[in-house]
Each structure stands twice: as C-alpha cells, then as structure tokens.
Amino acid sequence: MDVLDRPEGFLMVAAVLFVIGVVGFILRRNLIVLFMCVELMLNAVNLTLMAVARYVGASMEGQIMVFLVMAVAAAETAVGLAVVIAIYRKRATVDVDDMTVMNG
Amino acid sequence: MLAATKQLDTKAFAEFVSGVGDSVAGFWPEIVLGITLCAVLLYDLVLSRERSKNTAYMAFGGTLLSLALVFMLPSEPRSLFSGMLALDSFSTFFKAVILIGTLVTVALTQLDKENIGARLGEYYGILLAAVLGMMLMASSTNMIMIYLAVELASLSSYVIVAHRRQSRIGSEASLKYAIYGSVASALMLYGISLLFGMTGSLSVMGLADLGIRMATDVGFGIAVGLVLAGLAYKMAAFPMHFWVPDVYQGAPTAVTAFLSVASKTAAFAILLRFMASLDPGSATGIKMADGGLFLDWTSILAVAAAVTMTLGNLAALFQTNIKRMLGYSSIAHAGYILMGVAALEVSDYAGFKAVAFYLLVYLFTNLGAFAVVIVVSNQVKSEEIEAYKGLGTRMWLPALLLTIFLFSLIGMPPTAGFTGKFLLFRAAIDKGLYWLAIMGGINTAVSVYYYMRILKFMYLEDSAEKTPYPAPCLLGKVLTVGLALPVLLLFFLGAAAGWTKNLSLLG
C-alpha cells in the first residue's frame, strides 16, 4: 500500500507511457497509429495530472483539467480522422511516406 | 455546524457570481465575437448557402465591433474570471493586432474567392473561432486557459487549412498541420502537468517564485522546455518549424496570410507572458548541482533565435513558389522576434516592447505581401516566382507595392520593417548578446538575396508577353494600398513606437 501513498510511482508510469507515445510517433508510418500514439501521450498527461492532484491538497484544478483534456482530445482526433478520410478517398493510402505531393 | 458551512458557501457563491458579473465588463470583445460566430454559422445553415457575401459582411461587422470594444476596454489592469484571464494594456494591444489582421483576412478572402470556393459561411465561422482562440491566448494567465485557447485556435486552423477539400495539397497540408500540432500540444500539456506538480497551482503567476526556488532543478527545466516547445510550434520557431512551408503552400492564400500573422502574434503573446512571469532577470534556468553547466533561459532563447533565423533564411534561398518562400521567411522572422524575447527585460523591458512593435509592423507587411500575391495570382494564375517576370511593366501598381513590402521584410528604410528590426537589435545589444545581433545582421544580409530576386524578376527580366494586365479590382487596390500606407507611416512617425512604450503586464 505504501506505493499508493506517494505520487512517484504514478509519475514514473506516466513518464514511460509518454515516452512510448513519442517513440511510437517517430517510428510508425500508419496515420491511424500515429493518432493512437498521440492519445497515449495525452493519457500520460492525464495520469500525471490525476496523480499530482491527489497530493497537492484541496484544489480541484487538476481533476478539472483532466476532463478538459479528454474533451479536447476527442475533438482533435475527430478533426484529424476527418482529414485522414478525405485523403484516403483520394489516394487510397494512410501511409505517412506517401504524403509527399509537396516536398519538404 | 452544517448551517454555518452552508451559509459560508452561499456567501462565497454570491461573491463568485458578482465576480463573474464584473469580469464580463472586460470581456465584451470576445462575447461579441462569439455571438458573431454563432450568427454566421446559423445564417449559413438555416437561411442560405448561396448568399455567401452576406456572411462576409457579418464577419467583417462583428470583428469591427469587437475591435471598437477592445479600444474601449477599461485601462486599469485587473484579473478576470477568478484569475483565468488578464485585462491589461498588453493583452489589449495584442487583441487589437489580431483583430486588425482578421479584418484584412476577411477582405483578402473576398479577393481570393474563386480560389477558396463555396461554403463561405462555414469558412468565416471557423475563422472567427480561431480568432476567438487567439484573443484568449493573448490574455490567458492560467494554464488551463492557455491550453484551451491554444487548442481552439489550432483545431480551427487545421479545419480552415483544409477548406479546399478537392485540393490535393490542401488536405495534405491540413494533415501535416494537425498531426504535428497534436504532438506539439501533447508536449506542452505534459510540461503543464509537470509544472502543476511542482507548484500545485495552474496559475502562470505562481511560476515567479518557482523560477527562483527551482532554478537548479533539471525537472523544472524540462517542464518549461516542453511548454516552450509547444508554443514554438505556433510561432513557427526552431525546433518546431517544419510544418510551415507545406501548410503555407497548401492552404488558401488568405488563410496563409492569416496564420502567418495572427497565429504567430498570439503565440508570442503567450510566450512573453510566460517568460515575464518566470522573471528571466533573476537568471533562472537549468543549473547543474555542481555549477558546471549553466543554461539560463536567455541563452536558450538566444540559441533558438539564431538557429530559427538561419534555417529559415537558408531554406528560403532555394524556393520557387512564392508562398513557400514567404513561409520560410516567416520562420526567419520568428527568429528575429525571438531575439527580442531573449532580451525581454533589458532597460525597462525594451525587448518586450520591441517584440510588440515588430509584430504590429509584421502584421501590415506580411498581410500586404500576401495581398499582392493574391492580386497577382488572380491575373497570372500562378504562384511561382518565375511568373513575376516583367510584372513591373505589366502590373505596375502591385509590383510597386510588393517592392515596399519586401523592403519592409528586409528591414530597409524608409519602411517600418527598419524601425522594428532596429528596436529588436538594440534590445539584443543592450542585453549584451552581441553574437546574436551579429547573427541577425548576417541573416538580414542573406535574406536580401531572395527578396531581391523577386524584384529582379519583376523589373529587370522581360517576359515574352508585353501587354499590361487589366488593373486589379477596387478591393484589391484599396487593400494593397491601405496596407502599404501603415508600413511607410510607421517609419516616418517615429512616435508610433510610443504605442508600445506604455504596455504593461498584469502580475
């Protein structure tokens, strides 16, 4: 039970989740998977906020922020997936390496 | 006991309600903009899809009213909505800059109408949502509010970039913008959650003590660094600048113009507020425990500024598409402006005021340059730099005005770009960042090449065809001339810098 009384464990798990998200985003090529990696990063943020909010006392700011992050993340994914669909209809691919009409 | 608690709650609640009532008095510009947004969307949805011109008038009128209300805001600085927003001369100035940019964008959209296509009601609704987000960015003092404002501005921008659904490059640009943007906001959010862990509060004001107390803490450095990375994405600064050329090229030109000034202005407003509350004057930053490595925020920002301007300028040298070239030029300008942020607090916040003044100048200059790009592409049907050959004789007025705007982007007198750059360089030198000022000078010299190349095409090279193009439409003339005037006037009226002289931050 000792572990649950201190925030370090939660923060470590969150940090690991966040790094997995970042690494996944860099390594994977499928657009849908990229959005999943971003979700992973946002969930790491939520875990950090919840863990911290539990230990900083009476303020509800942390918990409120988690709800806002979830809502905004849903909106962000909706916009992102809408664009992915628009592209898939035209090119029948969701691979990042094919997104090269304009050369970077 | 229970009754006592209940009574206390009622009192607190009554205070909260009256606080909200007071706050609304300082929030009218945003309220008007929000109402206009809904009205435009409803009008488009319910009444008509054909009379799209009316939505343009509605958007223009609402923005104009909002701008008038910004000028009528009470001048004494105070906090709104329990510390969520600040009402101070700083936020008022930036809101005015963003709203002027919006007015011009609405007009540019009408100019570029055949390219942007139908569904203008949706377009204006989303544009106004982005503007609302940017205005909130300029005044947020709480990290929840910063996050929400940045996301409102970003999500609307992703959608509006993809407005030309049938365009291949439009949707690709939007995809790149959205996917990297969501990573940038996740980075910023992680930084915010770590800062929350260290202060126990999400208020930006709370960072001031923390900056001094935690100056040696690596974790604190990482948290602030993550927040800065998220903001760098919106400013188009290194290391989060790579989206700029693709998005600028793929978006409708009016949207590109809007993003290049309004989005950058709002992001710099947050950055200034954030860095000012970290109090860079007290030399906080990442210090290793043994004192071996000392990385203060001034040096980090200065290095970011130097790298940003160098990358932007070098890449701009090789561009053939003018929108792409202006995109790289916009990265370079983010670098110049970062110079002022690095020298934020020097000699009574001269760097801070220089940044504000430069953003005002950049607003008129860059919008003007894009206005000419639209006027030219309406006739020439091309955005390639090659197409500007012989334009000096075939379209004399746009060519002449583009010359003024490019001179201002270079920073040559007699244009306001010179005054703005002068203030930024002087702030950097006062701060003792001589190497940064020299880097800025070299970069300006490099940038002369690619701006002058357009002038060379326009005036020194002949195209096969010699007949002049028909004169631009009235709106095109009024817009381009109207944007060129402030670029010249802000130089001649030396006192104009006085507008930014009295800016102050709540806190």
pLDDT in tens, B205-256: 777 666 556 656 677 888 888 999 999 999 998 888 889 999 999 999 999 9
- Residues facing B286 on adjacent strands: B295
- Residues facing B85 on adjacent strands: B80, B140
| Helix, strand, or coil (residue B201) | coil
Separation CA B4–CA A91 (nearest Å): 67
Q: Are B279 and B211 in contact (CB under 8 A)?
A: yes
- With respect to residue B359, please indicate whether it lies within any of the assigned structural domains: yes
Closest CA to B170 of B158, B184, B156: B158
Q: Are B29 and B135 in contact (CB under 8 A)?
A: yes
Q: Fill in the amino acid letter for A10.
A: F
Neighbours of B430 (CB within 10 A): 14
Give the position of tokens 């005015």.
B96
- With respect to residue A89, please indicate whether it lies within any of the assigned structural domains: yes
**What is the average per-residue pLDDT within B449-460?**
91
Of A51-65, B30-44, B184-198, B434-448, where does mean pLDDT reach its minimum?
A51-65
Separation CA A17–CA A6 (nearest Å): 19
Bond before B77 cis per omega within 30 degrees: no
CATH of residue A82: 1.10.287.3510
Question: Which of B164, B179, B384 should we substitute to test contact with A (largest number of A Cβ atoms within 10 Å)?
Answer: B179
User: Which structural domain, as residue segments, surrounds residue A48?
Assistant: 2-98
The H or E element that residue A29 is part of is none
Q: For chain B, what percent of residues have pLDDT higher than 90?
A: 48
Q: Is the dihedral of CA B154, B156, B159, B163 positive or negative?
A: negative
Structure tokens at B308: 């940003």
- With respect to residue A70, please indicate whether it lies within any of the assigned structural domains: yes
- With respect to residue B82, please indicate whether it lies within any of the assigned structural domains: yes
Q: Are B259 and B326 in contact (CB under 8 A)?
A: no
pLDDT for residue B503:
74
Tell me how close the Cα of A40 comes to any Cα of chain B, in angstroms.
Answer: 10
- With respect to residue B60, please indicate whether it lies within any of the assigned structural domains: yes
Question: Is the pLDDT score of B386 beyond 90?
Answer: no
pLDDT for residue B189:
94
- With respect to residue B20, please indicate whether it lies within any of the assigned structural domains: no
- With respect to residue B289, please indicate whether it lies within any of the assigned structural domains: yes
- With respect to residue B303, please indicate whether it lies within any of the assigned structural domains: yes
- Could you say which of A7, A75, A83 has the minimum Cβ distance to residue B175? A83
Interval B68-78: pLDDT, tens: 999 998 878 88
- With respect to residue A104, please indicate whether it lies within any of the assigned structural domains: no
pLDDT for residue B347:
62
- With respect to residue A72, please indicate whether it lies within any of the assigned structural domains: yes
What is the number of structural domains in chain A? Answer: 1
Residues of B in contact with A86 (CB under 8 A): 162, 165, 171
Interface ipTM = 0.94
What is the number of structural domains in chain B? Answer: 1
Integer-rounded Cα radius of gyration of chain A: 17
Question: Which of B157, B171, B187, B198 should we substitute to test contact with A (largest number of A Cβ atoms within 10 Å)?
Answer: B171
| Residue B398: CA count within 13 A, CB half-sphere | 30
For residue B146, count CB atoms less than 10 angstroms from its CB and return exposed for 0-12, middle for 13-18, buried for 19 or more.
Answer: buried
- Could you say which of B169, B193, B194 has the minimum Cβ distance to residue A101? B169
Q: Using 50, 70 and 90 to split pLDDT, how confident is the model at B29?
A: very high
User: Which structural domain, as residue segments, surrounds residue B104?
Assistant: 28-500
Separation CA B282–CA B290 (nearest Å): 19
Which phi and psi angles does B243 have, rounded to 5°? -75, -25
Per the model's pLDDT, the better-predicted residue between B286 and A30 turns out to be A30
- With respect to residue B265, please indicate whether it lies within any of the assigned structural domains: yes
pLDDT for residue A56:
77
